[in-house]
Amino acid sequence: AERARSEATRPTFPRRRGPVRATKQPTRGASAGARGRNKRARRRDTRSRPPRVSHLSGHTDAGQVATMDGLLAGLTSPQMKSRMTAVDDLQDYLERNEVTDRDDAHVLADAVATLLKENNAKVCGGALTCACLAVQGSPDLFRQHVPLFLPGVFDRLGDLKGPVREGARNLLVSLLELRVTPPADVFGKASAGWRHKNWRVREELLRTCERAFASDALSESDLSVKATLPQVLNALEDREPGVREAATSAILGAASRAGPAIHGMLARHTIRPGQLREIQARLADANLGA
């Protein structure tokens, strides 16, 4: 009974269920009204600033076209998407404007040479189009800079994508028609295209030759059949059927320019009898060389 009375008089305490956490005090700061005023002030300050130029896209934030410096800077961006955007922007610019500065022409030619080494078909095709537009707009400025990107153009003749190959052909023909590049650099005996290890490059160079012979902008003095025909005839011995067929088509193109003299030119070279008969038959069917 005495023990029960002792337990009854023992004070009781509330049981703690966990550590007591400090109550987070509200931070002091600007009132809602002050924050709103600051936000509106920053917005007004942004509107008053001039539009910022993006050196990757070639456009300003207001949609205006940037200078050539900004456009050319985007071509060397380490980001693939930025280079693709820069090529598109430069193409749009060159469709409306000409390159007027010799230094810009050098930078553009050097950038095209680098872009033609890309594995992206859109970048390569865009670079070829930009080069073609730039040369057509300012042929005199690019005459000394073409050797920078001409080897890359030959390489793109062998591209797996048809539009890229077509862009390379268009550029080569434009270089010839505008007298920017001498025919010897493209079709001469020392041209790298004839010795290229990619057979498609050799085929497409012959297709380019056929198209050049058919161009009204190139006369016999500009593109000599006599000087070009030996390289075309050598291609008749190529191991690839596509190259041999392209060589025959180029001979027909040469005949449309040389006329009856084509028979004497063919007689001065050694051609397999079967091939010669086929060529003569196709000349007769097309009423060429008569």
Q: What is the CATH number of the domain that holds 78?
A: 1.25.10.10
On whether residue 118 sits in a domain, the answer given is yes
21 or 279, which is more confident = 279
Kindly state the average pLDDT of the residues 18-26: 52
Question: What is the C-alpha separation between 225 and 255, in angstroms, rounded?
Answer: 9
CB of 220 within 8 A of CB of 179?
A: no
Q: What is the distance between the alpha carbons of residues 130 and 136, in angstroms, rounded to a whole number?
A: 10
User: What pLDDT sits at residue 58?
Assistant: 39
Tally the domains of the chain.
1
Q: Supply the pLDDT for residue 23.
A: 52
pLDDT score recorded for residue 38: 61
Residue 195 forms part of a structural domain: no
Q: Angle between the 273-285 and 241-258 helix axes, to the nearest 10 degrees?
A: 50
Residue with tokens 């005023």: 37
Residue at 176 is within a domain: yes
DSSP assignment string, 115-131:
HTT-S-HHHHHHHHHHH
In a domain, 194, yes or no: no
For residue 100, what pLDDT is reported? 92
Q: Decide if 153 is inside a domain.
A: yes
Residue 271 contacts by C-beta under 8 Å, 6 or more apart in sequence?
A: 233, 236, 279
- Determine, yes or no, domain membership for 110: yes
Tell me which DSSP letter residue 236 carries.
Answer: G
User: Which range of residues forms the domain containing residue 177?
Assistant: 53-181
Report, as an integer, the average pLDDT of 217-228.
93
* 165/69 Cα distance (integer angstroms): 29
Could you tell me if residue 13 is inside a domain?
no
Confidence of residue 64 (pLDDT cuts 50, 70, 90): very low
pTM (2 d.p.): 0.76
Q: Does residue 280 fall inside a structural domain?
A: no
